[in-house]
Structure 1
Amino acid sequence: MKKITFYVIPLLFIWISGCNTPDPEIQQDISAADEVLQTYVEEHDIPGMSVSVYRGGEVIWSKGYGYMDVENQVPADPASTLFRIGSVSKTYTASGAALLFQDGKLDPNEPIQTYVPDFPEKEFEITVEQVAGHIAGIRHYRGDEFMSDKKYTSITEGLEIFKDDSLLFEPGTDYSYSSYGWNLISAVMEGASGQDFLPFMETQVFDRLNLTNTMPDHADQDIPNRTLFYVYDDSAESNQEAPYVDNSYKWAGGGFLSTTEDMVRFGEAHLTNEFLTAETLDRFMAPLQTLDGESTGYGFGWSTFIDSEGNEWKGHSGGSVGGSTMFFLHRENGVVVAFAINRSGAPMGDLRDELAKIFID
């Protein structure tokens, strides 16, 4: 791998939508957040990242830090730089499933085989909702599967990786995170809709919500504005280009590219009932429970976290080869925050909490 020299660049831009003279309170919040981000980028040697925040009916802040291409010093741009969003893809996919639910084409309580008849039956019946909520016992990655460089040509082909494996536990008795479960959800959506998964997502979610910079991460194609991807080499104490991977085996659970501005636009659509009804939003965002009544903190593609002030946020984190992403929203206060980094394994939990504290009304 080529060694990459790290650079820090100043502010690219701050966008205050619709304001000639920024509100002092908004400007104070932006200044506080910018200071947090500047420190974060420097302390963690971040190659490039972007952040966007929606509040009060508009995008109040959108900024890039560092570079999408470190060697050629191409700045990261929150409006156009495409990051691997990892498991935030699950939340995008969940909205597609929610549309099928609203149309009466998908029942989360149905067994998987209702929509995917060829999926092998297990020792216990598993439902669509159990799979989506990680309580079905479907396994996660093993060995070097996360680093796959194989091109998969269909959703069905991707199921071959895990479809014959036994369940980890009786469905409903435990929680175990599984991206492969979301491979199965995409197959369910194909069965329910009668369409291939990617065209369905592109027309029913991305196009309808005007997510013009959200798309599948076709590794074998030249995609304009796609960031380079980095990993941190501890021995060299530097960022280096990440190895080549192909995420076509897991579009639904971790295979999309997006910008932070598209992510907040996606979040905005889930603050009202114009795209999805209140009933649907409540059903899909509500955390599931195991059979003993314990909350998993995870619904149908939506995670829940409580900030230090006791506010409940919905969203998802995403980790991929060369990508670390966070997306979260507060429905009652109308706040959406998204940040994306072009490096694997960047620490995000503390940054998420700090931004949540700053931007909550």
Structure 2
Amino acid sequence: MKDRARRMTMPPPLPTAGLHLGVVLLLALPLASTVTPIASAQSDSAPATAPAPLRYAEAVEEARTLVQADIAKRDYPGIAIAVSVDGETVWSEGFGYANLEHRVPMLPSVKFRVGSISKSMTAAAAAKLFEEGRLDVDAPIQRYVPSFPEKAHPITTRQLGGHLGGIRHYEGDENFIRDPYPTVLDGLAIFADDPLLHEPGSKYTYTSHGFNLISAVVEGAAEQPFLDTMRESVFRPLGMRDTVADFVTPIIPGRTSYYVRDAEGHVVNAPFVNNSYKWAGGGFLSTTEDVLRFANAHLDDEFLSEASHKLLFTEQRTREGEGVGYGFGWFIRTREDGRRLLSHSGGSVGGTSLMVMEPDARVVVVGLINLTRADNGVVTEVLDLFIDAVAAAR
């Protein structure tokens, strides 16, 4: 993907006019240097259609207005949003602040807690092992995680990937764990001895712990640590240089500050949490542009095979044949207008995320917010804007 339109927008009031102008001018330079050669080259051989960023300029302005109004209305600290069409980035911009106390502006390069988008990333690693013949998604998970206690009924990786495995979700304050978990297997101890909620395959029960168990399956199948597999099979091949595990002690450049609302609805600093128990379930940091790269890799078969696409994007069903609206690490929904959307949202302590794509229009939108339980409906509104723009351009 080519990054052609990266900007930062600050909501009023700005810290100082000088800061605003300096940042805008700095970020405008790459944009100007990209646009100028395109314009000058049109004298002799003008293209039949304008380059993508210019073709969708009107949609970008409409989307920018939408987001500016949304951040003013909902009063969240900051949002970064990125859009691609046919694999090319046509808009990438930050609004508001990555840190409120120091008035650090939000930029597309800022790293957020992406929450359950981590599940989709983990699913890609599992799919790689599946297509290589190293992971049988229909075998009992103990083939790859022999230390995990056997239950009343066998559980398969496919069932875990569709939230059909009967593994429970968070209980009590488990979303606010502060203690470190040195290994993936250590994290399983939180729920390993609990009974299943239901017979695997009989019911859909959303669960982050189920994906934490998948990370142990990936370790067993790959015969190396889970994070190594993620780096080698997903992040590096896709150029996701800004996607990392959310370790709490290292200095991670570009990491946003995290915010929640207090009982009165005021934005305050989020409490400290340690996500090392759930890398796969919701523990990665990433940027809008990295998540955009990741999603776009699923629009063709260069990164994953046709068999892997079928694994990920076939809606799973209960044993009674009821569709659950979920494949393997992806939500699958057909809207009333007939458009099929593939997506995943995420909720973290200090983060709200949404990655959504419409494969037929080849439009992908990613929105990341540094606030717990923020309303991210504007991301879907932006998707609709660009779907309409693509239809008009074609």
TM-score (norm 1): 0.93
Report the equivalent of 1:347. Answer: 375
The letter of the residue matching 1:276 is L
Give me the whole-angstrom Cα distance separating, in 1, the residues matched to 2:294 and 2:32: 19
Residues 311-349 of structure 1 show CA distances to partners (whole Å, capped at 9, x for unaligned) of 11112000000000000112222211101000100012x
CA shift, 1:16, in A, is 9.6
1:209-220 mapped onto 2 (5 Å cutoff): 209-220=238-249
Gap change, CA 1:225 and 1:342, over 3 Å in 2: same
Give me the whole-angstrom Cα distance separating, in 2, the residues matched to 1:18 and 1:39: 28
Give me the whole-angstrom Cα distance separating, in 2, the residues matched to 1:17 and 1:93: 37
1:215-234 mapped onto 2 (5 Å cutoff): 215-234=244-263
The letter of the residue matching 1:247 is N
Among candidates 74, 77, 85, match of residue 104 of structure 2: 74
Contact kept, 8 Å, 1:17 with 1:59, in 2: the verdict is no
Gap change, CA 1:43 and 1:306, over 3 Å in 2: farther
CA shift, 1:267, in A, is 1.3
The letter of the residue matching 1:60 is V
Mean Cα deviation higher: 138-147 or 32-41: 32-41
Gap change, CA 1:7 and 1:215, over 3 Å in 2: farther
CA shift, 1:126, in A, is 1.0
For structure 2, the residue ranges without an aligned partner over 5 or more in a row are: 1-10, 15-19, 40-50
Report the equivalent of 2:89. Answer: 59
CA shift, 1:269, in A, is 1.1
1:328 match: secondary structure? strand
Report the equivalent of 1:130. Answer: 159
Say if 2:314 is the partner of 1:309.
Answer: no
Which structure has the highest helix share of the two?
2
1:66-215 mapped onto 2 (5 Å cutoff): 66-78=96-108, 80-215=109-244
CA shift, 1:249, in A, is 0.2
CA shift, 1:7, in A, is 6.0
Gap change, CA 1:335 and 1:8, over 3 Å in 2: farther
Give me the whole-angstrom Cα distance separating, in 1, the residues matched to 2:191 and 2:177: 14
Report the equivalent of 1:3. Answer: none
Say if 2:341 is the partner of 1:336.
Answer: no
Contact kept, 8 Å, 1:89 with 1:251, in 2: the verdict is yes
Among candidates 310, 314, 331, match of residue 286 of structure 1: 314
Residues 82-122 of structure 1 show CA distances to partners (whole Å, capped at 9, x for unaligned) of 00000000001111111101100011111111111111111
Give me the whole-angstrom Cα distance separating, in 2, the residues matched to 1:65 and 1:222: 24
1:355 match: secondary structure? helix
The letter of the residue matching 1:283 is L
Say if 2:67 is the partner of 1:40.
Answer: no
Give me the whole-angstrom Cα distance separating, in 1, the residues matched to 2:270 and 2:33: 35
1:249 match: secondary structure? coil
Structure number with greater CO (CA < 8 Å, separation at least 6) is: 1
Report the equivalent of 2:17. Answer: none
TM-score (norm 2): 0.86
Gap change, CA 1:88 and 1:59, over 3 Å in 2: same
Number of positions where the alignment pairs a residue of Structure 1 with one of Structure 2: 353
Give me the whole-angstrom Cα distance separating, in 2, the residues matched to 1:66 and 1:17: 26
Identity %: 43
Say if 2:267 is the partner of 1:239.
Answer: yes
Contact kept, 8 Å, 1:147 with 1:245, in 2: the verdict is yes
Residues 20-41 of structure 1 show CA distances to partners (whole Å, capped at 9, x for unaligned) of 4676651121112111111110
Give me the whole-angstrom Cα distance separating, in 2, the residues matched to 1:8 and 1:166: 53
